[in-house]
Amino acid sequence: MDARIAKRYARAAFSAAQKVGAVQAVEADLGALAELFEHPGAFRDFLLTPKLGRDAKVRLLSTRLQGQAHPLTFALLGLMLRKGRQAELPQVAEEFRTLRRESERVVFAQVASAEELGAQERDALVRSLERRVGKRIEPSFAVDPSLLGGVRVAIDNTVFDGSVRGSLQRLRRILEYDVLRQV
């Protein structure tokens, strides 16, 4: 898969969506479709099967997605089908989401915690992170029991690790460093 192609499609779709004020709607449609595509099933088989021609796929999509997806989403998917780029749908959705965050000056944060965080904890954490990075945070919360306790936040290439497992790993690195330094 070529990331440049996905970016090109996403940029065109995002620009068009901004003009018609349908960024959120298109992003939601693309996210849902990408999730459908990433899991084996009828939708994925339909998009990838060589038994149906491209025009036939576009016609079928128009009947099934009529009224359920934004017209811009349908137009984008139809274009990708005609160009044979339907396999890039998840990357296009991701790039579209990235472009939207960049335009809104929002950073994405993956928050993993050993237990489900309460609403207050989530809000406090998001506020704290926003003050820390100086940007608005768009969090994604997930539960990871392997953390044992605490929370770990990944923003772009930066990781804030407050988990028990992270502490143990840091302790392991310190001990290993001491041992190897003696050698």
Q: Is 114 in the site for another protein (CB under 8 A)?
A: yes
Identify which of 131, 138, 148, 36 has the alpha carbon closest to the alpha carbon of residue 93: 36
Strand partners, 108: 138
Interstrand relation of 136-143 and 151-155 (parallel, antiparallel or unpaired): unpaired
Look-up of token digits 């392991």: 172
Q: Is 151 in the site for another protein (CB under 8 A)?
A: yes
Cα–Cα dist 138/155, whole Å? 10
Cα–Cα dist 125/140, whole Å? 12
Choosing from 58, 79, 133, 154, the residue that interacts with another protein (CB under 8 A) is 133
Q: Is 119 in the site for another protein (CB under 8 A)?
A: no
Identify which of 149, 146, 148, 153 has the alpha carbon closest to the alpha carbon of residue 112: 153
Instruction: Report the nearest approach of another protein to the CB of residue 180 (Å).
Output: 6
Choosing from 14, 37, 74, 160, the residue that interacts with another protein (CB under 8 A) is 160
Q: Which is nearer to another protein, 59 or 131 (CB)?
A: 131
Q: Which is nearer to another protein, 94 or 161 (CB)?
A: 161
Instruction: Report the nearest approach of another protein to the CB of residue 162 (Å).
Output: 3
Q: Which is nearer to another protein, 60 or 148 (CB)?
A: 148
Choosing from 35, 128, 136, 142, the residue that interacts with another protein (CB under 8 A) is 128
